[in-house]
Amino acid sequence: MAQLNIFHYLPGGSILHRMDGRIKLVCMILLSIAVSIASRISDLLSLTFIILVALISSKLPFKKLFAELNYFLFLIILVLVVHSFSIPGTPITNWPVPNPTWEGVNSGLVFGWRIILLVAISMILIATTTLSTLQNVIGWGLHPVPLIPGAKISTMIGLTFTLVPLIFDQASEMLDAQKSRCIAGRKNPIERIFFLVFPLLLQTFRRADEMILAMESRCYCEQRTPEIFKTKTLDWVILLSLGLVCCAIFFQLG
């Protein structure tokens, strides 16, 4: 089976691939904060447009990436249901289940919209930035902060970004294996979840142990040669433009 594209680095020569990792990380953090606090539909539409432009300019497999977002579909549906029944407002008539409100449905849809945008931002960052660059950028940002072991934290974050794609790939392989063995056709959903979650956790812990042994066998240490970052004029233009958009959203919120 081919590996999933989601949360994997995809080599390329686009503007985002060549962009300074430090500027790229700051831009993605600003976008994430703006998406999290944006309350108006116009602001979310503007941020969605920016993210779509970033996806297109990065030349990533747009359709494949969003097709793989079905892994987050359960979370979005759960958020929509919880908001529909927990937020008071105008009740929805002619509904078989009582108490859902239009305000709750609207809030759930907006929250689900935010989740999709945040996942898209993460995909863009990881797909256009090598793991070593991302780890060096985090270490560079934490190095001036006193009493914080920047090298250790950047290593832990790097290992996390290594394990997450492996978990998704393993889950996809296990789902295909269950379909071939007709386990996916069983009526009991709890039984299906058990046959997926337990082997997935076991395989994840096994992969983590293998990574630790591999690092120890190669005498891994925190003293590493720092990466040399190169910032271009276009990087500053992108950061300034995005900063102005995010500041406009922040000031409107205030």
Render pLDDT for 59-96 as a digit per residue (tens, 0 to 9): 887 777 777 677 678 888 888 888 888 888 787 777 76
The whole-chain average pLDDT of the chain stands at 81
d(CA 139, CA 141): 5
User: Using DSSP, how many helices (H) and how many strands (E) does the chain show?
Assistant: 10, 0
d(CA 88, CA 105): 10
**Res 169 pLDDT > 60:** yes
d(CA 91, CA 94): 10
pLDDT at 2: 46
Q: Which helix (H) or strand (E) holds 148?
A: none
**Dihedral angle sign, alpha carbons of residues 79, 64, 58, 18:** positive
Q: What percent of the chain has pLDDT over 70?
A: 88
Q: What angle do CA 117, 201, 75 make, to 5 degrees?
A: 30
pLDDT at 151: 77
d(CA 58, CA 5): 14
What value does the mean pLDDT take over residues 170-198?
A: 72
Using only C-alpha atoms, the chain has a radius of gyration, in whole angstroms, of 21
- 239 within 8 A of 21, measured Cβ to Cβ: no
- 8 within 8 A of 125, measured Cβ to Cβ: no
**Residue 142, Cα to own-chain centre: how many angstroms?**
21
What value does the mean pLDDT take over residues 141-166?
A: 78
SS3 state of residue 91: strand
* Mean pLDDT comparison of 61-70, 169-178, 184-193, 205-214, highest-scoring range: 205-214
Range with lowest mean pLDDT among 101-105, 114-118, 171-175: 171-175
